[in-house]
Amino acid sequence: FVDPRFPEDAADRMEELATNVPLVEELESRLKDVKNAITKMDAGTYGICEESGKEIPFDRLEANPAARTAIASA
């Protein structure tokens, strides 16, 4: 709630939203990636490159557990 008697509060809220929206979008994207990785684990396809069908190297998965492709396919 923004009190109309204090318009500077509205400006502060807008600035806060402008800062938070990209952060929320990034977190939503990461959550989607994690959910996708869990689905792949359940299906037994985690760690398999979506492009080549080959195993994604362990060091890539260690660096990015939600990786969907091997570096060569990315």
* Residuewise pLDDT in 10s, the chain (74 residues): 667 777 777 777 888 888 889 999 999 999 999 999 999 999 999 999 999 999 999 999 999 999 999 988 65
Q: What burial class does residue 56 get, using C-beta atoms within 10 Å of its C-beta: 0-12 exposed, 13-18 middle, 19+ buried?
A: buried
The DSSP bridge partners found for residue 48 are 55
Q: What angle do CA 58, 25, 2 make, to 5 degrees?
A: 150
Place of tokens 């204090």: 6
The architecture CATH gives domain 7-63 = Up-down Bundle (1.20)
Q: What burial class does residue 11 get, using C-beta atoms within 10 Å of its C-beta: 0-12 exposed, 13-18 middle, 19+ buried?
A: exposed
Q: pLDDT at position 33, please?
A: 95
Q: pLDDT at position 32, please?
A: 97
